[in-house]
Amino acid sequence: MTYLITGGAGFIGGNFIHHMLSAHPDDKIVCYDALTYAGNLETLAPVMSNPNFAFVHGDITDRATVNAAFETHRPDVAVNFAAESHVDRSIDNPGLFLQTNVIGTQILMDACRKYGIKRYHQVSTDEVYGDLPLERPDLLFTEETPPHTSSPYSASKAAADLLALAYHRTYKLPVTISRCSNNYGPYHFPEKLIPLMIVNALNDKALPVYGRGENVRDWLYVSDHCKAIDLIVQKGGIGEVYNIGGHNEMRNIDVVKLILKELGKPESLVTYVTDRAGHDLRYAIDPAKISRELGWLPETSFADGIKLTINWYLENRSWWERVITGEYLSYYAAHYNN
């Protein structure tokens, strides 16, 4: 089998490539990535010389380059991680998110139709369901929860999901979709909450918490997400949507304080800053369907996963020190100084 993995130089796609090459050593993996600010070839350095791995530098919105990659590598399966993924950036530049996340998905699925594919898997997000009230812990997102989005990012991901389902119904494209909660773990770009707080704490910089830090996210260790996607691609039902999550809801402020405690840094580093526009209050996934139908269960508790993650950032300083330069510094100054 040959897998085309788009966005494989990013956080989850990179972890997925490492997972696939070790779980399926006889299969071929082709990474297709535009190497935006979020793409990092150092994440793929450990597999670059693997004979079953190839890297193609290309944009999913560039039809000619996408088609050329299909022509050359003839993938059996395509898994689409490529996206603009940061909510705050989508508020500043929605057009880029529509272009990559919607039009890019269309162009990839067109290539899947043209060249024939056994499976197209769309990596989606729990953010397509909008948010849940803080005072109703009984409510969870199920696959039947209607799309109800808050940010240009989540709207673009919901649009891509609808398009994927339309390609399945109209053209019989063999599509599956997964909607996962917040991931954390190695190779996470330090613009997102957990790596940002680890990196700033290690540098004794202020930890910017939006609003009062009471928003709730449902955290899943990235390798559990990768295993779930692998399972859906191997055994999931065509045309089906699967929620992925580990029932691990936490308030942002509690996550931040835990990181400070693990690193032995003072809580005085916490700085409350202006809230995100349209900030979703709470996400919470009901993963009953994937557990019941495919036997998936999360393996890493948050207590273990956060320690593994912090250790990874301690042991891989050169990876993140090279990342927090250039474009990152100008983004950081513009975003947090405002």
Q: Which residues are catalytic?
A: 126-127, 153
| Residue 295 DSSP symbol | -
Contact of residue 230 among ligand NAD, ligand DAU, none (CB under 5-8 Å per partner type): none
Task: Give CA–CA dist 111/305, Å, rounded.
Answer: 37
3-class SS of residue 252: helix
Q: Which of residues 260-279 bind ligand DAU (CB under 6 A)?
A: 276
Q: Which of residues 77-106 bind ligand DAU (CB under 6 A)?
A: 85-87
Of 288, 203, 277, 208, residue with least CA distance to 243: 288
Which helix (H) or strand (E) segment holds residue 89: the answer is helix 87-92
> 45 and 87 in contact (C-beta within 8 Å)?
no
Measured from the CB atom, the residue of 58 and 190 that comes closer to ligand DAU is 190
> 201 and 269 in contact (C-beta within 8 Å)?
yes
- For the chain, the maximum distance between any two Cα atoms, rounded to a whole number of angstroms, is 57
Q: How big is the CA angle at 305 (ends 303 and 310), to the nearest 5 degrees?
A: 100
Among the residue ranges 58-66, 204-212, 260-268, 325-333, the one whose residues contact ligand NAD (CB under 6 A): 58-66
Measured from the CB atom, the residue of 208 and 298 that comes closer to ligand DAU is 208
Contact between 105 and ligand NAD by CB under 6 A: the answer reads: no
Q: Which of residues 211-230 bind ligand DAU (CB under 6 A)?
A: 215, 217
Contact of residue 246 among ligand NAD, ligand DAU, none (CB under 5-8 Å per partner type): none
- Among 190, 208, 236, 305, interactor with ligand DAU by CB under 6 A: 208
Contact of residue 208 among ligand NAD, ligand DAU, none (CB under 5-8 Å per partner type): ligand DAU
How many other CB atoms sit within 10 Å of the CB of residue 232?
A: 25
User: Residue 247: which region, alpha, beta or left (left: phi > 0; alpha: psi -120 to 50)?
Assistant: left
Distance in Å, CB of 299 to ligand NAD, minimum: 17
Among the residue ranges 57-65, 206-214, 252-260, 309-317, the one whose residues contact ligand NAD (CB under 6 A): 57-65
Adjacency order of strands within the sheet including 216-221: 182-184, 216-221, 249-251
> Which spans of this chain sit near ligand NAD (rule: CB under 6 A)?
6-7, 9-13, 33-36, 38-39, 59-61, 81-85, 100, 104, 123, 125, 157, 180, 182-183, 189
Give me the residues that bind ligand DAU (CB under 6 A), please. 85-87, 125-127, 181-182, 192-193, 196, 208-210, 215, 217, 252, 276, 283
